[in-house]
Structure 1
């Protein structure tokens, strides 16, 4: 059987293939320290686990759930956005729970893109934006980000291009992989750009509480909802990556368009997961403060490791990664392979996030200080 042509332009996700190599080395007895993956190693809040277990005994827990999610979960999302981002949302019309942000990326693309439509995608950026764009047979148009521009898009430069076929633009702040942040002024400029060119902006926002005292949402921008959607997730902020729980927020019209796809793709999220997620979203800021104390200590260690490797980290990074320039003359892939096979340390090469990521590597903060200290010892030896 011949595979669909849409797969001709799509490669296997880098981490899917590279981690097979890492696991093979571990199976051969190599003590690999994994600093490559952004999968939190810390536990979810204990009260969330308790709520999940309690919900398992609910008489309707194992039945199909509403396509839009339970009212309790949607109300928790509403309160979360109001309390932390100062954004008002209607839980009946402006919120959809998601089974992880990747689901949202796919459903948004299926809902708005036809064959030949163009999509503005950050370079460097999350590889899934490109993969899903190609799967729906749209055209990826990359906009370059750089350290010189603080890893923000140059909207004036973009406006000089032919944007007549562009329907969507992906942005992601705090940015992965660079850790760059965006402020209210930039979001206002971005919304104005979207209105002028009739482009739907999607901000992918899962990192806003990690090593960041001032969480931001593009939805806080005045009169933005017609041209803006925002993805968010519990994976990073609440250590619930394996739960696959996210959310999508925006105007009633845009949400209803996406529901036409979603309601044909799944039959609702498992009730206990929604109950646990609602409990997480109702936690106060003390949860984030405690998590960030841990990440702060880990980051200091990773910066020490980067120094030992003669790598130069970017300044003022947010999120759970450290983005650093490799030594002069090195490639990102070659440097990562050297670390893996010489020091048994795995990091992510920058090239997998786009051509503008070449010359950088990404360290994850999702391992304990003991492991990072061991990595430093190996390098210094």
Structure 2
């Protein structure tokens, strides 16, 4: 028997990878499952995006290896997008690196900066991949707790009391997933100052800025942020292109060069047609965002009704494509979602997927039709 690498002893299979197999078996057995668990957009990308990828098949360079840094026109489109929507200036030649989804960027950044034994500040609750990737590269995750009472913002006073000498990276994610919390007016400024004080690379994971949010923000809009900050972004949620795997990391040219050293050894460039489609997506007008958010608003209103029917409470000021709901005090997250799955055939995500601070919460996805959400309400009622 060939033994697996030690690193596999530190991580489990991704929760959704396991749970979706269970849900798939229920569907195969004839159970009418309604899934409100995964944030996988069910809407179509813009038509011009689909036209662009279709037309690209005939281009002379379409099926060749592509540049590790992406097409120049894609980097230019990302630069213009950041300027138009975040008022952030980025050099398309040196400060932008397209990615095959921002999830791979978490691994690339970690491999570029972390040695075995280095420490990483990870939000609790937060995206599970921050913790698993940290473990896979041999570093140590140090959880910093976020709390509803503080609107899910970092407690810098508490952080300053801890030993930060081994911390190399701090993961942040605003608008926050899973809670939908918006960054406070000062949190990005505080994060930049914190990173400079302790020589920590602050990485903001920012894929939810445009979903049910009238004020998209970038941490790079803070003066001096590029010295200690990177930002990940994605087309997955904003343009319904999750399966296309198009993302980006942006920041100072030195950081981008370091990440490119890893990335260029991991893949051979993004498919040409996908890049051409991404260029068109990034050119979309504000009408695209307004139309998209009209759909999500209608769905969110219904999910609020579903949460009410389940005796949950929630924050109507939260943004993003999820509703983060608090259970009655006596209920446990995983027991509750298993009960709802068994009795009502509705799959909801337990808050514990995102850390211990997610206990007592559940997360609904808005990536389901109004008909399905209405059916879910009827089943619960």
Name the TM-score, length of structure 1 as normaliser.
0.99
Q: 1:183: how far off?
A: 3.8
Answer with 308-317 or 6-15: which moved more: 308-317
- After superposition, what is the alpha-carbon deviation per residue over 1:39-75, rounded to whole angstroms, capped at 9, x for unaligned? 0000000110001111111001100111110000000
- Give the match's secondary structure for 1:21: helix
CA contact (8 A) 2:179 2:324 kept: yes
- Give the match's secondary structure for 1:269: coil
Alignment of 1:1-381 (within 5 A): 1-380=2-381
Q: 1:315: how far off?
A: 3.6
Runs (4+) of structure 1 exceeding 6 A deviation are: none
Q: 1:184: how far off?
A: 4.4
Name the TM-score, length of structure 2 as normaliser.
0.99
Unaligned runs of 5+ in 2: none
- After superposition, what is the alpha-carbon deviation per residue over 1:134-164, rounded to whole angstroms, capped at 9, x for unaligned? 0000000000001001000111210111000
- After superposition, what is the alpha-carbon deviation per residue over 1:11-37, rounded to whole angstroms, capped at 9, x for unaligned? 000000001110100011100000000
Q: Name the count of aligned residue pairs.
A: 380
**Distance in 2 between the 1:160 and 1:115 partners?**
24
CA contact (8 A) 1:226 1:254 kept: no
CA contact (8 A) 2:207 2:236 kept: yes
Change (3 A) 1:25 1:209: same
RMSD: 0.6
CA contact (8 A) 1:116 1:138 kept: yes
**Distance in 2 between the 1:216 and 1:78 partners?**
15
CA contact (8 A) 1:95 1:249 kept: yes
CA contact (8 A) 1:183 1:216 kept: no
- Give the match's secondary structure for 2:224: coil
